[in-house]
Amino acid sequence: MAPTVDFHQSGDRDVQYVKAGKRRLFVNPDADAARKVFRRKSRRMVDKTTTVKEAVSRLIHDGDYVASGGFGSNRVPVAVMHEIVRQQKRNLCFSGQTSTHILQILVAGKCIRACDAAYVVGQEVRGISQVCRRAFESGEIETTEWTSAALAWRYKAAAMGLSFLPIRSMLGTDTLKQSAAMELDCPFTGKKYAVVPALYPDVAVIHVHRSDIYGNCQIEGIGVSDYDLARAAKKLIITAETLIGNEGIRLRPEHTAIPYYLVDAVIEVPFGAYPSNMAYCYFADEEHLQDWLEAEKGEETLLKFLDKNIYRCKNHWNYLLVNGGLERLNQLRQKEHFADRS
């Protein structure tokens, strides 16, 4: 089950703060509790390659707090999310920072019970996900309100091994009132800050350009919040476009965005971000993303769509195949490189 306790707690100590937000915290921000978990994490550089099916089954459990790397419909770990739906994980909490397409998948699969909400039902210029909208309007999903930067800085606080960070946004608004943030006066300047609790997800899933078998990863293009998220998460699943040899990592160590000791599983999933955009590899499949939005308009059409694209697919290869396979992927590759403009 998802957590039902409220993690706002300071024990017997007299702590000076103003409780600004009235919503619940879904994960414990305590830094010592996190250290206990990280102390047990293996430091051994061993082969961590596996399958998507095995990783999801072993590392993601009902009630877990899950976070996704990437941004919106860009470099998001679609293959793992489809598998979460296929394995019918339930009562997950989700970090709704920017991952619009991932949230769309998990809500359609009825996997989500609670959500830290920064950007949740929209698909940017493409429109609104009706399935997400219905779930958020009906109260089916419990929410606590945040902003994109607040969630980025919550990951950062966790990555730093802290329990909170002061920030200068959210202040004065209903976004703050419907969050679980607090207000605190700066002990040096007396100025007022919003303080946000560290976010240590149970599991993060990040799709990268390259990884070796140990989980040393390289990411190209924008990093979004993934550098901090990888460090904040108690468990980390990596899918990679390509597996490379360890010598490839050692040749350019400054390109390592995620070192192996953060990683629990590595799976090579070519086109693993499809139908999202993978920088320098392939553009987003706009037609397929529109089909998603269309299918969501009715229950029958959605079930049929999920059946075709998720439930009846054994793995990501099958999903790529039912959507045009290599020919389609090559079109998206051309689009990414502007080669489709003749």
User: How many other CB atoms are found less than 10 A from the CB of residue 235?
Assistant: 21
Q: In angstroms, what is the minimal distance from the CB of 147 to another protein?
A: 4
Q: In angstroms, what is the minimal distance from the CB of 161 to another protein?
A: 16
Q: Which is nearer to another protein, 47 or 124 (CB)?
A: 124
Contact 179, 20 (CB under 8 A): yes
- The first and second tokens of residue 59, run together, are 């590392």
- Give whole-number Cα distances, 227 to 138, 159, 172, 269, in Å: 34, 9, 30, 20
Q: In angstroms, what is the minimal distance from the CB of 53 to another protein?
A: 28
Angle at 188 (CA atoms; ends 184, 190), nearest 5 degrees: 50
Closest CA to 267 of 35, 58, 20: 58
Closest CA to 270 of 236, 226, 239: 239
Q: Which is nearer to another protein, 59 or 151 (CB)?
A: 151
Contact residues toward another protein (CB under 8 A) are: 70-75, 98, 117-122, 124-126, 128, 133, 136-139, 145-150, 152-153, 156, 167-175, 178, 183, 191-194, 220-228, 277, 279-280, 283-284, 286, 336, 338
Q: In angstroms, what is the minimal distance from the CB of 239 to another protein?
A: 18
Q: In angstroms, what is the minimal distance from the CB of 329 to another protein?
A: 16
Q: In angstroms, what is the minimal distance from the CB of 191 to another protein?
A: 6
Q: In angstroms, what is the minimal distance from the CB of 166 to another protein?
A: 10
Closest CA to 256 of 226, 292, 288: 226
Rg over CA atoms, the chain = 20
Q: Which is nearer to another protein, 265 or 275 (CB)?
A: 275
Q: Which is nearer to another protein, 11 or 187 (CB)?
A: 187
Q: Which is nearer to another protein, 149 or 293 (CB)?
A: 149
CA distance 218 to 209: 6
Q: Which is nearer to another protein, 93 or 152 (CB)?
A: 152
Contact 147, 176 (CB under 8 A): no
Q: Which is nearer to another protein, 18 or 326 (CB)?
A: 18
Angle at 38 (CA atoms; ends 37, 41), nearest 5 degrees: 95
Q: Which is nearer to another protein, 108 or 121 (CB)?
A: 121
Residue 6, C-beta contacts closer than 8 angstroms, at least 6 positions apart: 24, 25
Q: In angstroms, what is the minimal distance from the CB of 136 to another protein?
A: 4
Closest CA to 285 of 96, 78, 141, 106: 78
CA distance 160 to 183: 20
